[in-house]
Amino acid sequence: MANTRKAAETFTRNAFETTLSTTLGPTDTTINVASTTGLSSPCYIVVEPDSGSQREYIFIDSTIGATSLATTTVDNRYLTGSAAGSGLTHAANSKVRIAPVQQHFEDIWDAVGKVVDATWSSVNAGSVKLDVAAATVNVAADEIAIIDADDSSLVKKESIADLVSGIAGTALSAAAGQLSVSGVTTTEIDASTLVTETDTIASNDNDTTIPTSAAVKDYVDSQTSGFADIGLIIALG
C-alpha cells in the first residue's frame, strides 16, 4: 500500500514536543506518547529529531488519542529525510516533535499545482491552469468559473443554466441549461436563402434555398394555368 499523503492541508503545532511512552517498533502504526495536547490529524511528526542515525519522519493520518497517534499504513513511515527506509526501532522516552518538514511544502505545492503551473523550469510558470478530473456535465445544476468584467475581473462562479439564459436571443429560449428554437420568422432567416415570388422557384432549382408561400403559389399557378383552358374547351364541346 502506498502512503496516504494528498495535496491537502496538514496541521502543525508550534513548539510541540513530547516523548514516546513505549517502544516504537519498525512496523508499528500506533505511536504511544506522553501527550498529544493541541495536535490534530493529519500531521507530520519527527521521532528522535536530533539523531542522524535514528531520525524518522512519519505521516499521521488516523486517530489521535490523548496519549497515542495512529497512521493507517507503515508506508506512511520512513518518509524522505528519515535516517533509514525501514527497520528503525525507537526506545521509550525518545523525543517526538512537530516541526516544519519537506513534506509540508510538497503538499502545498502539489495543491497549488492543481490551479497554477508551479514548475520552475516551465515557460508558463505562474500561469493559471486547471489540473482536474473530467466529469459528465449537468447543464441544469453545474457551475463554471468566469472572469467578472463588471467586478474588477475577479474570478467568480456562474451556473451553466444562467450562462445559457444570457446567450438566448431572438427566436431562442433557455430552460435548465439548454437552448431551443422557437418563433422563427423570415426575419431571422438569411434573405439570400429565401426564394420570393419575384425570384421565382423556376429560377432557383437547388437544395440550398427555401421558397416563400407566395413563390410556391406563383409556381403552382404557372404550372396549372393551361389545364384550366383545356378543361373549359372540353366542357364546351
* Tens-digit pLDDT profile for residues 119-145: 989 998 989 888 888 899 998 999 998
User: Rounded CA gap, 23 and 89, in Å?
Assistant: 7
| pLDDT of res. 225 | 65
| pLDDT of res. 18 | 98
Q: Is the pLDDT of residue 237 over 80?
A: no
* Tens-digit pLDDT profile for residues 36-55: 999 999 999 999 999 999 99
Q: Is the pLDDT of residue 27 over 90?
A: yes
* Tens-digit pLDDT profile for residues 76-121: 999 999 999 999 999 999 999 999 999 999 999 999 999 899 898 9
| Residue in the block written with cell 410556391 | 216
Between 70 and 191, the higher pLDDT residue:
70
Between 173 and 76, the higher pLDDT residue:
76
| Domains identified in the chain and CATH numbers | 1-111 (2.40.30), 133-188 (no CATH), 191-236 (no CATH)
Percent of the chain with pLDDT strictly greater than 70: 94
Strand 194-195 with 210-211, pairing? parallel
| pLDDT of res. 226 | 59
Strand 178-181 with 172-175, pairing? antiparallel
- Range of lowest pLDDT (18-27, 36-45, 219-228): 219-228
Q: Is the pLDDT of residue 21 over 80?
A: yes
Please answer whether residues 185 and 213 qualify as being in contact, where contact means their C-beta atoms are separated by less than 8 angstroms.
no
Joined together, the cell numbers standing for residue 184 give 422563427
| pLDDT of res. 235 | 61
User: Rounded CA gap, 196 and 211, in Å?
Assistant: 6
